[in-house]
Amino acid sequence: MVSLEVFLATLLYAGLGIVIFIVSFVLVDKLTPGELWKEIIERQNMAVALLAGAVAIGISSIIAAAVHG
């Protein structure tokens, strides 16, 4: 069985990873020209949606590697 200490550490690292991901993605959104969500939702721009997905996967991989050690 998993100890309470390990469980709380897992929750802490997961929460920290989510916060870092959100901050990073908002930063990428602000640095890209134009309005990212307007392009994806209103104009149905598939290329921008694929770019945003690729950026999200890349950021997630970097955060996972950093947290894992």
**Can you give the residue ranges of every domain in the chain?**
4-68
For 23-57, give one letter per residue: b (16+ CB within 10 A) or e: ebbeebeeeeeeebeebbeeeebeebeebbeebee
Alpha helices by DSSP H, the chain:
4-31, 36-41, 46-68
Distance, in Å, from the CA atom of 64 to the CA atom of 69, rounded to the nearest integer, reads 8
User: CB of 14 within 8 A of CB of 65?
Assistant: no
Q: Model-level pTM?
A: 0.82
Note the pLDDT of residue 52.
93
User: Confidence band (pLDDT; 50, 70, 90) for 54?
Assistant: very high
Note the pLDDT of residue 40.
92
